[in-house]
Structures are given as structure tokens and as C-alpha cells.
């Protein structure tokens, strides 16, 4: 199994975290998204910065990759068994991507100070609004660790990078994040650059 990515993006971190949770051995090839190798271009028809290859299987959408990994390596399971809860898990991950990841892309570009300030404010507000949810369950909207956590935790790790400090009212989010940061799988999947974010 081979993962091609810039080695630091949120999507790459999410996929590497799923692999760490399942103890999957893989090769990581760090590529420059602005100048990807010519050999990869036919494999990835869009502008994503992540490609996953497993023998004849080639995938380039992070959410498809992590579900593939969960089905290919079913233990420990990171998706619920029943269809309704599985659908809700997918919907929550879609909202994480749309409502949270979208703002991080603006912050990573940092080309427009006004847009960056707006993205930073909206991301902070969205996280604060989630705080009550973390008082109800041990994990994100679930009693079991799942793919939703694998998507959310890499983003929370990067808050200092985005210059976002959560207020006291978001304490449940902060406690949840710290608890999951301490997981062995999370620590094992951090790249050197990612580790330096909170050095």
C-alpha cells in the first residue's frame, strides 16, 4: 500500500490516522502538490493532493479511501454496523469537510487577510457551537471511536497553526481534543512537521 501526499495536509493526516488505528503498514511518498510527478497525473484526474494505491486499486478521494480501509481491514471497526448510523456517520463527515475543512483551505492559502480573518472567525464559531455535543458522548457524536473522530482530530491539532484559540465555553472541545491527542495511534501517525505545530 502506498500513500502519495504532501505529508502535512488534513486529508493525508486523516488517512494516516485510520491506518495507524488499524496497524496498517504502508509507504508514504511525499510529493509537491504544485509539481506532482508525471507518473501520478494519469491516476488523479482532479486537483486533489492525495492518492492511495493498493495493488490494482487507485483512490484519490480521502473519504472513499478511509471507508475502503475500514472495509478492507475490519478490525477495529471505525464505522457503525447498522445502515442508519452509518448514514449519519457519513453525513457528519460531510459536514466536517464542508463546514470546517472549507475554512482551513482559505487559511492555508493566506493570500487575502480579510478572507483569512473571516475564515478564522467562522471556524472558531463552528467549533464553539459544537461544544455541547462533547458533553453527551465519549467521542464525536458516538460512544465509540469512529471515522468522524479521525476526520476531526487532525483539524483540532492544527488550531495553533491557524491562530485559533478556543474560549472557556469550548472546554468540552478542548478536553475531547486532548484526550484523543494522547492516543498512541495519533501520536504514531504525526509527521515531523505536524509534531512541531504543538512543540
Query: Do 122 and 46 share a structural domain?
Result: no
* pLDDT by 10s per residue, the chain, length 199: 999 888 778 999 999 999 999 999 999 888 766 666 666 655 555 545 688 989 888 888 899 999 999 999 999 999 999 999 999 999 999 999 998 998 998 888 767 788 889 999 999 999 999 999 998 888 999 999 999 999 999 999 999 999 999 999 999 999 999 999 999 999 999 988 899 999 8
Query: Do 163 and 103 share a structural domain?
Result: yes
Domain tally, the chain:
2
Give the H/E segment covering residue 184: helix 184-189
State the pLDDT at residue 60: 84
Catalytic residue list contains 150: no
189 in a domain, yes or no? no
Query: Do 172 and 101 share a structural domain?
Result: yes
Whole-model pTM: value is: 0.90
128 in a domain, yes or no? yes
State the pLDDT at residue 83: 95
- Cα four-point dihedral sign 100, 41, 71, 20: negative
- The DSSP code sequence of 116-165 is HHHHHHHHHHHHHHHGGGGGTSSBTTBSS--HHHHHHHHHHHTTTTTT--
What is d(CA 95, CA 97) in angstroms, rounded to the nearest whole number?
A: 5
What is d(CA 23, CA 176) in angstroms, rounded to the nearest whole number?
A: 23
Query: Do 91 and 51 share a structural domain?
Result: no
Query: Do 149 and 60 share a structural domain?
Result: no
Query: Do 58 and 91 share a structural domain?
Result: no
* Domain that residue 92 falls in: 83-183
CATH number at residue 90: 1.20.1050.10
State the pLDDT at residue 42: 53
Instruction: Name the active-site residue from 9, 14, 150, 151.
Output: 9
Q: Beta strand pairing status for 50-54 and 2-5? A: antiparallel
Query: Do 169 and 114 share a structural domain?
Result: yes
97 in a domain, yes or no? yes
Query: Do 35 and 95 share a structural domain?
Result: no
Amino acid at each position: 500500500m502506498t500513500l502519495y501526499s504532501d505529508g502535512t495536509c488534513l486529508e493525508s493526516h486523516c488517512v494516516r490516522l485510520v491506518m495507524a488505528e488499524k496497524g496498517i503498514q504502508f509507504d508514504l511518498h511525499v510529493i509537491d502538490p504544485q509539481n506532482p510527478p508525471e507518473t501520478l497525473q494519469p491516476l488523479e484526474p482532479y486537483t486533489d493532493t492525495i492518492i492511495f494505491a493498493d495493488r490494482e486499486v487507485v483512490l484519490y478521494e480521502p473519504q472513499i479511501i478511509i471507508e475502503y480501509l475500514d472495509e478492507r481491514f475490519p478490525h477495529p471497526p471505525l464505522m457503525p454496523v447498522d445502515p442508519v448510523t452509518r448514514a449519519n456517520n457519513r453525513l457528519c463527515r460531510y459536514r466536517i469537510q464542508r463546514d470546517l475543512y472549507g475554512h482551513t483551505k482559505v487559511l492555508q492559502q493566506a493570500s487575502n487577510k480579510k478572507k483569512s480573518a473571516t475564515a478564522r472567525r467562522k471556524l472558531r464559531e463552528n467549533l464553539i457551537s459544537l461544544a455541547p455535543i462533547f458533553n453527551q458522548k465519549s467521542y464525536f457524536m458516538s460512544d465509540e471511536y469512529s471515522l468522524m473522530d479521525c476526520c476531526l482530530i487532525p483539524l483540532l491539532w492544527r488550531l495553533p497553526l491557524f491562530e485559533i484559540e478556543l474560549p472557556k465555553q469550548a472546554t468540552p472541545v478542548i478536553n475531547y481534543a486532548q484526550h484523543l491527542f494522547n492516543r498512541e495511534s495519533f501520536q504514531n501517525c504525526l509527521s515531523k512537521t505536524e509534531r512541531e505545530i504543538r512543540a
